[in-house]
Amino acid sequence: MAAKFTSSLGKGQVTIVEPTDTHYYQPMFTLIGGGMKTLSQSRRPMKQVLPSGAEWVKDKIVSFDPDNNRVRTQEGKQIEYEYMIVASGVQMYYERVKGLLEALDDPDSGVSTNYSPHYVEKTLKNLQRFQQGNALYTFPNTPIKCGGAPMKAVLIGDEYLRKHGKRDVAKLTYCTGMGAFFPSPFYAEKIQNILLGRGVELHKNKTLVEVDRAGKEAVFQSGDTTERIRYDIMHVTPPMGPVPELATSPLVDQTGYVTVDKATLQHVKYSNVFAMGDCSNLPTSKTAAAVAAQCKIVYDNLGAVMTHKALPQLYNGYTSCPLVTGYSKCLLAEFDYTLKPLETFPLDQSKERSIMFQLKKEIMPLLYWQLMLRGYWNGPGVFRNMFHLGGIMKQQNRE
């Protein structure tokens, strides 16, 4: 968004408040955990990815004061704005699972998570060291970013163990704290069949609450009952939530996410504020693909606010999950607020395909670095419309 608005408004008109030095292409983390990419391929210096015409304040916002159009930073700066886009993402809350951080920090614990650059490389190490026994995979009871990633970890783990002759001495178990395996029922059924076909034991409504590193046991809660499951290796998806600085601000609802109109992405109370991506309360799945589609909405609608025009764009909730199912195949789920498929390509995307794997592994990173970060990628809507012109029709929003 900074790149887009720097182009249209000119040099010095955009300020980015961003405390970190390094930008990660996080969608690559799943592949790093499987040894298909390296951590260094996923990162760039922040300076290199921010638009040169924008001012970078390398500091952290500690409080939002939207009634006075200003924010305060950790170093004590007050920054005033005419318009603001909030895009702070979500934060990991490791400490909500007792013993989790200690287990992640212990190189020999067998516990990892693909959700962090600090721990993602452990996922591959754990698979390499694994001899036999239980491989556990968890999903918390909070909304998370990339809801497909915990399943990608188990499917890649399964194929790794098969390739190395260890699958028949391994028991793979997947436990989610949620009541469903995937938000879109259409894809949920396909994905559940893939997991069952690979011999993965599946549990719903089972939340990881403690990691007992010494006893190599994971403690789960379902309703009032607790259960201990032994693990040899475990991939944990930590609970996630809004950043605390935002959660205590006037911008959010009781869940801590920024209250925006689900179609226009404009804040419901402060008309000069927009939010996008994971920090918003948009009722869609938190993915980079969703953000890509939201770029056009926010750019055009905020542009209209600046020029006192009616808001022209409405977001349909588009989101996408390239569900990598191993070392060569991928199912490309795409859906909107209705949760029904809204697919780009004129083929059945709910099938595992190697072309989709190549799209995920080779094309998406290029598209992200070269186009999206420069303000030139607004999601695949143009391609979807193109493919569906001229009779290459596939029924959209299938029941």
Q: Where in the sequence numbering do the catalytic residues fall? A: 146, 321
Characterise 354 by phi-psi region: left (phi > 0), alpha (psi -120 to 50), beta (else): alpha
Place of tokens 């195949």: 329
111 vs 153, beta carbon nearer ligand UQ1: 153
| Residue 333 phi, psi (nearest 5) | -80, 130
The DSSP result for 339-366, as a single string, is -SB--SSSS-TTS-BHHHHHIIIIIHHH
Question: Shortest approach of ligand UQ1 to residue 269 CB, angstroms?
Answer: 29
Summarize as ranges the residues that interact with ligand UQ1 (CB under 6 A).
27, 288-289, 292, 320, 322, 344, 364, 367-368, 372, 377, 379-380
For residues 196 and 224, give the distance between their C-alpha atoms in angstroms, rounded to a whole number: 27
Q: Which residue number, 301 or 320, has a Cβ lying nearer to ligand UQ1?
A: 320
Q: How far is the CB of 355 from ligand UQ1 (least distance, A)?
A: 11
Q: What share of the chain is helix, strand, coil (3-state, %, to 5)?
A: 35, 25, 40
2-9 vs 288-306: helix crossing angle, rounded to 10: 30
Nearer to ligand UQ1 among residue 27 and residue 303 (C-beta): 27
Other Cβ atoms within 10 Å of 236 Cβ, number: 27
The closest of 207, 41, 21 to 121, measured between CA atoms, is 41
Minimum separation from the CB atom of position 161 to ligand UQ1 (A): 26
Cβ distance to ligand UQ1 smaller for residue 61 or 372? 372
Residue among 239 and 277 whose Cβ is closer to ligand UQ1: 277
**CB contact at 8 A, 284 and 320:** no
If we measure between CA atoms, which residue out of 292, 256, 254 comes closest to residue 276? 292
